[in-house]
Structure 1
């Protein structure tokens, strides 16, 4: 789950011209919205990467696309706060590229971010981890999308407090 959040955060940070600042602090609600928004693209990327290496009965091969679609039903609801989180992670750059991104219509920005998230996940997952990832996704699949997103935010917050999961992309603010 930590990798999912880092990949989501990195998605915006890799866009041309987006300035990097000191690791911003996301509120638990922002982290949850970011995870909820990114989950469908991340699940799609994971399914594309792992399906060829998994057995025909694996969850991702049987239900990955349906899960991504189900989780995608709440994307519009999560977008406003996720957008805020994406721009927090991307820094407060004032160059032309940053301004151009901020002026993009939401549907264009969403399409670009979805493609980046899906592509990054598909590239970054080591295929030898696909079996474990398939099991985790299968265990989380019965949960409503928002519960999964909230769980990701809580795990990131706990991991950050323990000092075992650090990222230079963002941290979870203390409540």
Structure 2
């Protein structure tokens, strides 16, 4: 099964024949973010076991996660199109139409993001999630994408503090 998943991932990566990977516009990046957020929240809860079980990121069900799941469901068609934009066109649409595409994609994204979380970060994450909880999932996705755009522009300027930020295919704020 893991070999199959690895093969699928390789097929969805941009083709080396493409001259340049296109960037995702704000709405496209927000759609992908919305689709990934429920799994990112759940994965964060698995990492942050030192937090109380009542912490929003530790909850495995309930109204908080239900809101994010509902928005993820609504965002999936736009996210699928955005992922296709970044993928090899010869295989992306066939793969992305599969019922396995979404869980596979979120299973790849969430650990990559949450894998950077240190247990010492969990208190800060808990505080941030608690403060942001009243906002809609769409607003949270917008904050995430705006932050990524800002980090990308800072990295392009050579800011040392963001040197290790991965190169993400998010358009700069000017390219929206």
> So what's the TM-score if we normalise by structure 2?
0.72
1:31 aligns with 2:29: yes
CA distance, structure 1, for counterparts of residue 145 and residue 107 of structure 2: 22
Residue 10 of structure 2 is matched in structure 1 by 16
Residue 167 of structure 1 aligns to a residue whose secondary structure is: coil
What is the RMSD of the two structures over their aligned residues, measured on CA atoms?
A: 2.7
> So what's the TM-score if we normalise by structure 1?
0.72
Residue 44 of structure 1 is matched in structure 2 by 42
Equivalent pairs, count: 155
1:92 aligns with 2:91: no
1:80 aligns with 2:77: yes
The structure whose Rg is larger is: 2
Residue 3 of structure 2 is matched in structure 1 by none
Change (3 A) 1:106 1:146: farther
Query: Residues 1-175 of structure 1 correspond to what in structure 2 (within 5 A)?
Result: 15-20=9-14, 22-50=20-48, 52-56=49-53, 58-61=55-58, 63=59, 65-66=61-62, 67-89=64-86, 91-92=87-88, 94=90, 99=91, 101-104=92-95, 105-163=97-155, 164=159, 165=162, 166-173=165-172, 174-175=175-176
Residue 9 of structure 1 is matched in structure 2 by none
Do the aligned partners of 1:157 and 1:171 also contact (CA within 8 Å) in 2?
yes
CA distance, structure 2, for counterparts of residue 103 and residue 33 of structure 1: 20
In structure 2, runs of 5+ residues without a counterpart are 1-5
